[in-house]
């Protein structure tokens, strides 16, 4: 589990803003911040007591067999839900929420709705971004909200005099990169090939790449203090009332489905470590640039084999053909975070804690 050195009383009195505070990662970050004594402004899409979670489409990840990805495959998957407690109830139940948590409804594309949550904050964690894997209108459904939404947040940050920003990007902004040396471990210098992503219609990855690049351009122009986190596939127990996309993928793996992730999978990380990494990056001004966030770099065949070994009672599909010769395995790829004191949860514990959580909610 990651750890951060205790800061002084002044830092513990900080008011910080977390966009996307009700999400899988955001909820853990809000909980951690409250536990550390911070006052938190968390933004959500809907402040009502009940929301409707859309079906999760994984058509781009469906693979009909082991040797060929079929991008015409279309499958609609409705994420299993726990009792619908809405988008905010689990946040309001956190320790310290009654006195140090304030929720704001925010529309990323409306600058007027972005600013109120950021006003008065010393730091901003920008996590909010749409996660849709099948889109009919990529520009309006994904690209504009991701890129323009990020810039709207950064403009508000600049206008409000915020000291420091930590941006949640993704390993999706790093891969695929056909020009990356075949014998080199993937690191923070690796950027996804946007044109290739467009060609194969990985629009989510396009959105994360363009949004991060736009953020870096803005930060350089305005002299903004910003650090970026690039996590891999995020797993772990959930605080939210519904599963997110990565947990849905795990459920599909456990069900024996074959998912075409060969171009983008390089490892996973515990959601609790992601939250701690975000906090460590905020509390350490020496944290600059991008930060790859993975327990280890591995291939998809490694993941499925380890998952199958842990849960032989489930029909996990073992990959017979390794298509990821371009992935150089590494036990400690997140050297920048390790240098900041982050310790990563072992793979087996993350998986077991995730599955135990899903079972406790009746989702397995």
In a 13 Å sphere around the CA of 50, the CA atoms on its Cβ side amount to 4
Distance from C-alpha of 38 to C-alpha of 16, rounded to nearest angstrom: 7
Sequence-separated (6 or more) residues with CB below 8 Å from residue 313: none
User: Which of 198, 199, 208, 349 does the annotation list as catalytic?
Assistant: 208
Which of 87, 20, 23 minimizes the C-alpha distance to 49? 87
Q: The tokens 């947990």 sit on which residue?
A: 247
| Active-site residue, 184 included | no
Which of these, 76, 79, 61, 41, lies nearest to 241 by C-alpha position? 79
Burial of 173: CB neighbours in 10 Å, binned 0-12, 13-18, 19+: buried
Burial class (CB in 10 A: 0-12, 13-18, 19+), 260: buried
Of the candidates 1, 50, 37, 66, the residue with the CA atom closest to the CA atom of residue 317: 66
Residue where the block lists tokens 């150089």: 328
Could you give the CA distance from residue 88 to residue 67 in angstroms, rounded to a whole number? 43
- Cβ-contact 327, 186 below 8 angstroms: yes
**How far, in Å, CA of 183 to CA of 189, rounded?**
15
Which two three-digit tokens encode residue 72?
């015409």
Residue 252, token pair as written in the block: 């599909």
Between strands 268-270 and 15-19, the pairing is unpaired
How far apart (Å, rounded) are the C-alpha atoms in residues 259 and 61?
A: 5
Which sign, positive or negative, has the C-alpha torsion 252, 253, 254, 256? positive
Looking at the annotation, which residues are catalytic? 208
């Amino acid at each position: 589990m990651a750890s951060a050195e205790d800061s002084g009383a002044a830092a513990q009195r900080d008011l910080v803003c977390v966009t996307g505070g009700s999400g899988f990662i955001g909820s853990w970050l809000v909980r951690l911040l409250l536990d550390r004594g911070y006052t938190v402004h968390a933004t959500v899409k809907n402040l009502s007591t009940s929301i409707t979670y859309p079906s999760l489409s994984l058509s781009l990840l469906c693979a009909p067999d082991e040797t060929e990805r079929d991008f015409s495959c279309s499958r609609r998957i409705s994420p299993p839900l726990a009792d619908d407690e809405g988008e905010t109830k689990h946040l309001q139940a956190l320790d310290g929420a009654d006195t140090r948590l304030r929720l704001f409804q925010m529309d990323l594309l409306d600058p007027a709705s972005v600013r109120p949550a950021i006003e008065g904050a010393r730091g901003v964690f920008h996590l909010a971004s749409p996660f849709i894997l099948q889109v009919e209108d990529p520009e309006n459904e994904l690209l504009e909200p991701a890129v323009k939404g990020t810039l709207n947040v950064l403009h508000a940050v600049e206008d409000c005099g915020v000291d420091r920003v930590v941006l949640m990007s993704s390993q999706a902004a790093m891969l695929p990169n056909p020009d990356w040396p075949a014998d080199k471990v993937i690191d923070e210098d690796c950027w996804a090939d946007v044109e290739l992503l467009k060609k194969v219609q990985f629009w989510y990855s396009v959105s994360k790449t363009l949004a991060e690049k736009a953020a870096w351009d803005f930060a350089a122009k305005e002299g903004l203090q910003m650090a970026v986190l690039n996590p891999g596939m995020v797993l772990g127990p959930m605080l939210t009332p519904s599963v997110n996309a990565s947990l849905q993928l795990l459920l599909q793996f456990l069900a024996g489905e074959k998912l075409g992730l060969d171009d983008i999978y390089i490892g996973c990380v515990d959601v609790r470590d992601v939250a701690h990494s975000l906090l460590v990056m905020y509390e350490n001004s020496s944290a600059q640039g991008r930060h790859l966030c993975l327990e280890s770099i591995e291939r998809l065949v490694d993941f499925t084999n380890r998952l199958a070994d842990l849960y032989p009672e489930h029909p996990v599909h073992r990959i017979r053909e390794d298509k990821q010769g371009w992935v150089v395995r590494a036990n400690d790829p997140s050297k920048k975070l390790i240098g900041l004191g982050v310790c990563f949860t072992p793979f087996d514990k993350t998986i077991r804690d995730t599955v135990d959580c899903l079972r406790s909610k009746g989702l397995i």
